Chains A and B, each alone.
Chain A
Amino acid sequence: MPRTDGVGAWLQITPLMTVLTLFLVVPIVTIAVVSFWGYNEWSFFPDFTLENYEYHLTAKVTWQTYLTTVKYVALTWIFTVVIGFTVAYFLAFHVRSLTWQIALFLVCTIPFWTSNIIRMISWIPFLGREGLANNALIAVGAIDKPLEFLLFSDFAVILAFVHLYALFMVVPIFNTMMRIDKSLIEAARDAGASSFQTLTNVIIPLSKPGIMIGSIFVVTLVMGDFITVRFMSGSQSASVGRLIQNEISLLQYPAAAASAVVLLITVLLMIGIMMRFVNIRKEL
């Protein structure tokens, strides 16, 4: 009966729609609306001004910040893909028993039982001038004075990002790899492909959806980050997230909203471009 079917469908979709509307659409619309408001030292008020966008898009600091942020994204992405792919490959193709695969996979997740702030901050005493890394290197005679670049530098930021987000790459890649039909690899071998050819012609193409899902995680997480950049760079570099955080702390909510809208659009564009390479829906 088509009529009741229609009602049923609407009823089924209602809970999800309500949740999405209340917790996703309404906040984003609010942010978009507020981004056109005016503000002064202590309050913000309804208005229709383009000044927030005008300043944000023309300021040199915005462009510098986006450049730094994109640099962080690119480097973090390269390292997490390489590490994530290698770990997933090892788990999926070298470890033969399912029990061991599951056990080792769980081992990968153990560090994630603690908060990511703690995992990040624990690098600070490790990398510092008087830290474990420097002391150890001096002790073995590799260097004679402490390496300054280890902490409060871009190096430290990237290191923390890779450490924090590598698992987001491992999980989806491992997941797609597990679903690759083993007979395809046997077929490749039978047809005379070397291990490397099998990797590039069979495994990588078939793992693309996993790589892409992982990449989306990493890109969005790094683009929106502010706390890792702040702590690991010793507040010396800025990311887009820190720019927004600063504006919020100075009560410039409309300016922060405008920056957030621009960031949102940028991230959506980046994901849009990434989706062009792989049709995730088809592959899932």
Chain B
Amino acid sequence: MKTKVTKKGLNRRTVLKGGAVAVGAAAGSGAITGFPTIWAQNIKDVTLRQFGTGVSNLNEVAKKVKEDLGFTLKMTALDSDSVTQRAATQPKSFDIADIEYWICKKVWGAGNLQAMDVSKIKNYDKIVGIFKSGKLTPTSTIAQGTAPHTVGFVEGPGGKRFADKETGWMTLIPTIYNADTLGIRPDLIKRPIDTWAELLNPEFKGKASILDISSIGIMDAAMVCEAMGEIKYGDKGNMTKAEIDKTMQIFTEAKKAGQFRAFWKSFDESVNLMASGEVVIQSMWSPAITAVRSKGIPCVYQPLKEGYRSWGGGIGLSSNLKGIELDAAYEYINWYLDGWVGGFLMRQGYYSAVPETSKKFMSADEWGFWFEGKPAAKDIVNPFGQVMEKAGTVRDGGSFYDRMGAVACWNAVMDENRYMVRKWNEFIAA
């Protein structure tokens, strides 16, 4: 199983791409002497087990991997709490972890993931700045919270501490990210909304909702409190105990006054709340908006003047991976950044870590709509064939640079995490 595959005249990529047929033929014809024949059988047998949240764990990706690379990718989709649990406590249950950056900050210390050598990542130089220096453009300011680059690197293989600059050893290879904001029902609200403070506006009493995942919910809550002018945070992604108390106090009062209709924990719940009209304004994720709209119900992912709360995910490798499986995993990562997956994800409204390679896999109109914020020339159809937007519409929030450039904070894990979680539980029980 530990057979090396760096052999004369054939590089790993072409071999893997050609798959077992090429290798079998080569080995069978005796063209390559000294080439380990055991490997020919192995490549078909390599199975990488990936788990992650539903957003990027799509069977279409696994199918394409089988076609392009020849090996099997087994996908398991879980919610973010279960993802964290598995990454931290069940290292033997996966080969590839598709997790968010704040989860990485939480679980890296458990030692279940191994740092990746960027010299093996072909498109490393093309990865957007957010994941390397932290800056989208050289002049950008870095948003608060667990910005991906702060947990993106370690000093070297086996490193437990995050490095504060690019070191060549990455914890996660970024795959998918987006800027989140509030979702609204314009048909029921009937007036413009432009600030996070509207979530607690008594006008929407009994018709608001927030997500009940403490680490994300607290950030939305902070955006609201700051927009209301109630609290000025040092760093929303790393609050002090006093800031947490004040935030939760404001939200508890609102809850007791009947502001919220419900809290949601899963994607489907947020869609149902919005589609049924139980809720008219709430924290929401981009594909949930699409799901509501695809039922013919108007729903807007409302850009707000205070900016977005952003999140990013990436692929991490299990520390148990070695030999041919590890090679296959690197191959998979290179393939991931090569554009097909990027295009697939961007056509659903997410962003890819290497947008320029994704462009090849999108029509000019799709690229214009999703990335450049231009009006759609034709109906925009997602990879599953559903019409996402009618011709002539412009993406909520505009272009990639408009949206990702207006990030106010990233999903985060705080130093006072345990305290925050307790306060959040009290808020839910209040």
Interfacial residues, chain A to chain B (CB-CB below 8 A): 40-43, 55, 59-61, 64-65, 68, 124-125, 128-130, 148, 151-152, 230, 233-238, 242-243, 246, 248-252
A124 and B110 CA atoms in complex are apart in Å by 40
Which secondary structure characterizes the binding site on chain B? Answer: helix
Since A234-B262, A252-B421 are in contact, a sample of 18 more A-B pairs with Cβ atoms closer than 8 Å, ordered by chain A residue number, is A42-B109, A43-B89, A55-B422, A129-B276, A129-B277, A129-B278, A130-B278, A148-B206, A235-B264, A235-B428, A236-B262, A236-B263, A236-B428, A237-B429, A238-B425, A238-B428, A248-B85, A250-B81
Contact A151 B425 (CB under 8 A): no
30 A-B residue pairs with CB within 8 Å: A40-B109, A41-B107, A41-B413, A41-B417, A42-B106, A43-B89, A43-B110, A55-B422, A61-B429, A64-B429, A124-B272, A125-B276, A129-B276, A130-B277, A148-B206, A234-B260, A234-B264, A235-B212, A235-B265, A235-B428, A242-B428, A246-B421, A246-B425, A246-B428, A249-B82, A249-B84, A249-B85, A251-B85, A251-B88, A252-B418
Given A68-B429, A152-B262, CB of A251 within 8 Å of CB of B84: yes
A243 and B81 CA atoms in complex are apart in Å by 14
Report chain B residues within 8 Å CB of A251: 84-85, 88-89
Shortest distance between the CB of B413 and any CB in chain A (Å): 7
Given A64-B430, A238-B428, CB of A249 within 8 Å of CB of B278: no
Shortest distance between the CB of A248 and any CB in chain B (Å): 8
Contact B110 A235 (CB under 8 A): no
A280 and B42 CA atoms in complex are apart in Å by 63
Which secondary structure characterizes the binding site on chain A? Answer: loop
Contact B429 A128 (CB under 8 A): no
Interfacial residues, chain B to chain A (CB-CB below 8 A): 81-82, 84-85, 88-89, 106-107, 109-110, 206, 209, 212, 214, 255, 260-265, 272, 276-278, 413, 417-418, 421-422, 425-426, 428-430
Residue of A152, A238, A252 near B429 (CB, 8 A) is A238
Report chain A residues within 8 Å CB of B206: 148
Report chain B residues within 8 Å CB of A59: 422, 426
Report chain B residues within 8 Å CB of A249: 81-82, 84-85
A47 and B399 CA atoms in complex are apart in Å by 53
Pick the 6 closest A-B CB pairs, nearest first.
A234-B262, A238-B429, A249-B81, A235-B263, A42-B110, A42-B88
Given A59-B422, A130-B277, CB of A236 within 8 Å of CB of B88: no
Which among A125, A148, A243 has the highest number of chain B CB atoms within 10 Å? A148
Contact B212 A61 (CB under 8 A): no
Report chain B residues within 8 Å CB of A238: 425, 428-429
A238 and B422 CA atoms in complex are apart in Å by 13
Shortest distance between the CB of B429 and any CB in chain A (Å): 4
Given A128-B276, A251-B89, CB of A235 within 8 Å of CB of B429: no
Contact B278 A151 (CB under 8 A): yes
A126 and B418 CA atoms in complex are apart in Å by 38
Shortest distance between the CB of A159 and any CB in chain B (Å): 16
A236 and B210 CA atoms in complex are apart in Å by 11
A43 and B84 CA atoms in complex are apart in Å by 11
Question: B430: nearest residue on chain A (CB-CB)?
Answer: A64
Given A238-B429, A250-B214, A251-B84, CB of A61 within 8 Å of CB of B422: yes
